[in-house]
C-alpha cells in the first residue's frame, strides 16, 4: 500500500517532524484525558440515547482543526443525520500511545453514569511512528479490548499500518495486529482508518499526517455506516 500522501516516511528528518506533529509538545497535547469541544447544534432525533466513547490520539483530538471539526464531533453529527440518537465522548489525546490509552481507559469509562453502547479505538499510530516494539503495541491493545470485553462493551477498532521505511520485518509484525485482535475479540474492524486520504494530499495538513476538515468529512463518510452497524440495536 503506497502512502504517497504521507511524506513523513521518506526520511528520518520528516519522521521526526511527524512525531512533533503528533507528540505531546504540541498545544493539543493537554494532560486532560478528554478533549473538550464547542460543537454546533445537532439534528434532533428520537429514541434512546446511544453513548459512544472515542478512545484515540490526535486523529480523534482534532489536531490542527477548529472546535467541532474533529472526527468524533463530525461522526456524531453524521449518525444523528441517520436518525441515530448518538452522543460521542471524545477521549482523544494528542501524542497518545496504546500504553497511554490503556492507562486512562478505566478512568474514562468510570466517569460515565452508565456503560457506553460502543467504544471506538484508534490507537497505535504513535507507537509506530516512534518505532516502539510491535509486541508492546499488540499487548496494550489486547489489554484494552480485554477490559472492554470484561465490561461487555462492543468495540470498533480503527486499524493502522506501518510506514514502509520501517522495514518489512516491522511491518510484518505490526500490520497483522489489528485484524488479529478484531477477530479474537469479535470487534468491528476498519483495516486502515486513513485509507480514504491516500493519494489526496489536499485533504491532509502540512505535517503530511493529520486530515484537514474536508479530510475528516471523508473519513466520516467512509466509516459512519460501519459505526451505525456496530451499535447494538437494543441500547
User: For residues 61 and 22, is the Cβ–Cβ distance under 8 A?
Assistant: no
By three-state DSSP, how is residue 122 classified?
Answer: strand
Q: What is the phi/psi pair of residue 15, to 5°?
A: -65, -40
pLDDT of residue 202: 96
**Domain 7-40+47-230 carries which CATH code?**
3.40.50.1110
Tell me the per-residue pLDDT of 98-149, one tens digit each, with 9 for 90 and over.
Answer: 999 999 999 999 999 999 999 999 999 999 999 999 999 999 999 999 999 9
Worst-scoring range by mean pLDDT, 41-55, 121-135, 185-199, 201-215? 41-55
- Please give the C-alpha separations between residue 69 and each of 3, 64, 75, 137, 215, in angstroms, as whole numbers: 24, 10, 10, 28, 10
- Of these residues, 96, 127, 207, 208, which one is catalytic? 207
Angle at 210 between CA 171 and CA 182, to 5 degrees: 45
Within 8 A by CB and 6+ apart from 186, the residues are none
Angle at 70 between CA 65 and CA 75, to 5 degrees: 150
pLDDT of residue 47: 79
Angle at 115 between CA 37 and CA 109, to 5 degrees: 55
**Residue holding cell 521526526?**
16
Name the DSSP letter for residue 186: T
CA 21 to chain centroid, in Å, comes to 16
pLDDT of residue 41: 61
Q: Which residues pair with 90 in a beta bridge?
A: 54
- Of these residues, 57, 58, 96, 171, which one is catalytic? 58
210 given a catalytic annotation = yes
pLDDT bracket for residue 43 (50, 70, 90):
low
- Of these residues, 57, 70, 94, 210, which one is catalytic? 210
Amino acid at each position: 500500500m503506497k502512502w504517497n500522501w504521507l511524506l513523513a516516511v521518506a526520511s528520518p528528518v520528516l519522521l521526526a517532524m511527524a512525531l512533533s506533529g503528533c507528540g505531546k509538545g504540541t498545544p493539543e497535547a493537554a494532560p486532560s484525558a478528554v478533549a473538550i469541544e464547542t460543537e454546533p447544534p445537532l439534528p434532533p432525533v428520537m429514541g434512546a440515547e446511544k453513548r459512544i466513547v472515542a478512545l484515540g490520539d490526535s486523529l480523534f483530538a482534532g489536531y490542527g482543526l477548529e472546535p467541532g471539526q474533529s472526527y468524533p464531533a463530525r461522526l456524531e453529527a453524521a449518525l444523528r443525520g441517520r436518525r441515530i440518537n448518538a452522543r460521542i465522548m471524545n477521549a482523544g489525546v494528542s501524542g497518545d500511545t496504546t500504553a497511554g490509552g490503556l492507562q486512562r481507559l478505566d478512568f474514562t469509562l468510570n466517569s460515565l453514569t452508565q456503560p457506553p453502547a460502543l467504544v471506538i479505538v484508534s490507537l497505535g499510530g504513535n507507537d509506530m511512528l516512534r518505532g516502539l516494539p510491535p509486541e508492546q503495541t499488540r499487548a496494550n491493545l489486547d489489554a484494552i479490548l480485554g477490559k472492554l470485553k470484561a465490561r461487555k462493551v462492543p468495540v470498533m477498532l480503527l486499524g493502522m499500518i506501518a510506514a514502509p521505511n520501517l522495514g518489512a520485518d516491522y511491518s510484518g509484525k505490526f500490520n497483522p495486529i489489528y485484524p488479529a485482535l478484531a477477530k479474537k475479540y469479535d470487534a468491528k474492524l476498519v483495516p486502515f482508518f486513513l485509507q480514504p486520504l491516500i493519494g489526496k494530499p489536499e485533504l491532509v495538513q502540512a505535517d503530511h499526517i493529520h486530515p484537514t476538515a474536508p479530510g475528516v468529512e471523508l473519513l466520516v463518510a467512509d466509516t459512519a455506516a460501519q459505526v451505525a452497524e456496530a451499535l447494538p440495536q437494543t441500547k
